Each structure stands twice: as structure tokens, then as C-alpha cells.
Amino acid sequence: MRVLVIGSGAREHALLLALGNDPQVDALAIAAGNAGTAVIADQHQVDITSGDDVVAVAREVRADLVVIGPEVPLVLGVADTVREAGIACFGPSKAAAQIEGSKAFAKDVMAAAGVRTASSEIVDNPARLDAALDRFGPPADEAAWVVKDDRLAAGKGVVVTPDRDAARAHAAGLLEAGHPVLLESYLDGPEVSLFSLVDGQTVVPLLAAQDFKRVGDGDTGPNTGGMGAYAPLPWLPNHVYQAMVSEIVEPVAAELVRRGSSFTGLLYAGLAITSNGPAVIEFNCRFGDPETQSVLALLDSPLGQLLYAAATGDLASFGELRWRDGAAVTVVLAAEHYPGRPRVGDVIVGSEAEGVLHAGTARRDDGAIVSSGGRVLSVVGTGADLSAARTAAYDILNSIRLPGGHFRTDIALAAAESKIRV
Ligand code: AMP
Ligand code: GLY
């Protein structure tokens, strides 16, 4: 099988590595890629938001399967164009990708499917902002305002704060920029990222993972695209995992089928485990980054065959997934100033080490590998348990040099110390 992966992040690097371990995969290509993926796949620089460009590459490399990583091409309908060209595609249609692309659509699907989620309200008129903040604000202890950009914002448009002035300032800034604001009720409890392969009806859940969204240790500072992740979650009871699948993911997949926009690809449920059970923070229409790097490090089943089965409606006959024992911890090395405007062009030393996945990297004419984006590398450590996997990840990270680079030192720490309770 010949596989073309679309995207340029560490998630796509992880997908390529896992696909390469599948004995039935004999050729790998990527568009657009980075300095790390160029070493393991045939790399094509095209506009990945153009369905025609993606199909042209898929034909050139004679792809049997196209795997679309990021949300932007999916929301724009690139998967539809690939399927119309007669090529199997792992990734939802434009209609189904609205589960991520439109928060209003996602809330409507969840309401119809009877799935628990935060209550919400869209504010597009500055004159209504204060009254809305008062309806959603915290009198309750430990509560917070949740203020979101109602458009795709790569995780960075969200402010969660107990400070009304900060909440108001973020909302006012979005409104000034012409972006509608989504206010949500606050969901309290540890977060879980649950990825499921879906081929319309059949839902095959992967190992649950946890992501670290804030830039700083101890969950301080602004939200990012994700600074680290680990799997599995030793603190997550099996009955809660089962409930996430049967009460949340399966009903949502069934509701999408009922609406005629059945989902083919990776359905990502971002959940909070509240005192009343799991509730949805958001759905995404693709593999999460950096959780994928941890989850795929533990997958023992052949990924190419698995994604092909999902793409062709054949998941039901795939059988049980196999997982490796132990744990995987991913730590993101970010560029100076990220999640603000990152500094780029710095030389990176040590990025060839095993366990290092590339995101914002490029190869300079003189051969040096330099930073080219906010999240630069993902470092994945595995081990018998979370402590061992943490040690492995941080050992690799400490051998890498990036001027101004920063990373969190507490990825998976609370879980390794058994400090997370549900
Ligand atoms: P999102 O981009 O919607 O995933 O939001 C980014 C992060 O903000 C999430 O991972 C949560 O940590 C936090 N968040 C978003 N919505 C809520 C909510 N309703 N209650 C509590 N935390 C939230
Ligand atoms: N890890 C968060 C995301 O991929 O959206």
C-alpha cells in the first residue's frame, strides 16, 4: 500500500513513523512536511488546502490511501475532492468536519445526540457583552469565565479565567476584530482526549490521553496548541472510559450518520471528567497534536491497514486493537515567545535523536536544521510506566539545543505521582 500523509507537524511525523512500521505499507509520501519528515518520506511542497493540488500529488505518487492530518484542509473539503477522484481517504467530509469547524454545529449535534457539554451563548454585539458575562460568570468557588473565538483558532483563541476584567478584555478584543465570541459554562475536572477511528457507524476508540494546553508549568500562562501529552491514563477508571465511548462518541457518530454527514476518520473528543461524569469541551475532526505522538508510540496494530479499513468502511472486520505495555510521554519544545509570535530561524542541535519528531523545522541551504514555527519538536519517551517514560523524554530533551527554546517540565508529573483523582 502507498500512503500520502497531508500536514507538516509532529503529528504527521508520528503518523509516518507508525505507517512505516506496517508491513503492508511500502511507500510513504508527505505534503508539505518538514525537515524531519523529509528523511522518511517522499516530500512534496504543495498548497494542502487545495483539493486539486492534493489529488495531483496523490496521483503522482500513486497513493492507495490519503491521510489528512490538520483541520484546515478537512474543513475546506479536501477529503471530498480526494474521494471524488476515486482515492481512499482517511479524513471526514467538509460536512462532517463541521463538528470542529463550527461550534454551533457541534452544539446542535450534541443536543440532538443527548450528549453532556457546557452550556453556551454566542455574543456578536458588544452592547450585550456585560450582561452575558454576568450570566456565565462564576459566583461558584473555583469557577471561571470561558471565552472562545467562535472561529478555528488552533487552541489559542480560548481564555479561561476567574478574572472578570481579563475575560471581558479578551471578549472585547475578539469583537473588535470582528470575531463572534462564544461564552461557555465552566467544566471542572481533569481533561481527557479520546480519539476514535470512525467509518460512519463503527467506532474504534484508541487509548485515552491527556494533553497540556497552558504554556507554563503548573498550568500557568496562556493556552497553546498543546505543550505535551501522555498515555495511557492510569487514573481513569475503565467504566468512565466505556461511558465516554457509549454515551458520547457513539451517539455523536450515529447522529452524524442520521444527518447524512457520516464521519470517516478520527473523531477527537476533548472531555472534562466532572463530578457528574464526562462532559464534552470540544470535538475535533482529526488526530490531536501532541496526544497522537504518545498514543501511536504505544500502538502495536498495523496503522496503514487500520486507517485504510476506516477509510473504506471496513472497521467492523478489523478486530481488537493491540497495544504495547507501558506508557508514553511527549514533551513539546517550543520556540521563544510561543504562543505569541515565535522567533524562527534558530539552529537546532540534536534533533536527529531517536524519539524526536519534527514540527516547525526546515533545512537551510547549508544543511543546518532551523526552527520555522512555534512548536518546533515533539520528544517522545516510552517506558514501563509514566515515571520511566518521563525520564526517557526529558533525557532526550536535555540533549537538544535551541536558543530561546522552552518546554514544560511537569508533563505527566501529577499522574506519575498518582495525584489525579476522579
Ligand atoms: P478548546 O480550544 O475549546 O479546546 O479550549 C482550550 C482549553 O480551554 C481546553 O483544553 C480546556 O482546558 C479549556 N476549556 C475550554 N472550554 C472549557 C470549559 N467549558 N470549561 C473548562 N475549561 C475549558
Ligand atoms: N492537542 C490539542 C489539539 O490537537 O487540538
Residues 224-254: tens digit of each pLDDT: 999 999 999 999 999 999 999 999 999 999 9
Say yes or no: 77 and 124 in one domain.
no
User: 176 lies in a domain?
Assistant: yes
Which of the ligands is closest to the CA of residue 227? Answer: 2
The average confidence (pLDDT) of the chain is 96
Is 73 within a domain? yes
26 lies in some domain: yes
Answer with the one of 184, 200, 228 that is the final residue of a domain: 184
CATH number at residue 68: 3.40.50.20
Q: Which atom of ligand 2 is nearest to the CA of 290?
A: 1
Please check whether residue 29 lies inside any domain of the structure.
yes
Pair (135, 81) in one structural domain = no
Range of the domain at 150: 120-184
| Shortest-distance Cα residue to atom 5 of ligand 2 | 288
Shortest-distance ligand to the CA of residue 143: 1
Rounded to two decimals, the pTM is 0.95
Cβ neighbours around 7 below 10 Å, total: 28
Residues 86 and 128 in one domain: no
pLDDT-based confidence at 146, cuts 50/70/90? very high
Shortest-distance ligand to the CA of residue 158: 1
Whether 40 is in a domain gets the answer yes
Query: Are 11 and 82 in the same domain?
Result: yes
Q: Check whether residue 28 and residue 80 sit in a common domain.
A: yes
Report the distance separating Cα 220 and Cα 211, nearest Å: 14
Whether 87 and 126 map to the same domain: the answer is no
Q: Where is the domain boundary, 160, 184, 208?
A: 184
From the alpha carbon of 229, which atom of ligand 2 is closest? Answer: 1
The answer to whether residues 85 and 149 belong to one domain is no
CATH number for position 168: 3.30.1490.20
Please give the average per-residue pLDDT across 31-47, as a whole number: 98
Under the banding of pLDDT at 50, 70 and 90, the label for residue 157 is confident
Question: Predicted confidence band at 310 (pLDDT cuts at 50, 70, 90)?
Answer: very high
Q: Does any domain span residue 140?
A: yes
- Residue to probe by mutation, ligand 1, list 119, 146, 215, 273, most atoms within 8 Å of CB: 146
Give the mean model confidence (pLDDT) for residues 346-356. 98
Tell me the pLDDT tens digit for each residue of 248-279: 999 999 999 999 999 999 999 999 999 989 99
Q: How confident is the model at residue 346 (pLDDT cuts 50, 70, 90)?
A: very high
Handedness of CA 228, 407, 150, 167 (dihedral sign): positive
Is the same domain home to 87 and 134?
no
**Residue of the nearest CA to atom 3 in ligand 2?**
288
CA distances from 62 to 54, 267, 312 (A): 12, 27, 17
- The answer to whether position 28 is within a domain reads yes
- Total number of domains constituting the chain: 2
154 within domain boundaries: yes
Same domain, 125 and 88: no
CB neighbour list of residue 100: distance below 8 Å, 6 or more residues apart: 71, 74, 75, 106, 152, 268, 282, 283, 284, 285, 286
Domain stop point among 184, 205, 226 = 184
Is pLDDT above 60 for 183?
yes
Q: Are residues 60 and 127 in the same domain?
A: no
Contact indicator for 408, 228 with CB cutoff of 8 Å: yes
Distance CA(28)–CA(63), nearest Å, equals 9
Give the pLDDT band (50/70/90) at residue 103: confident
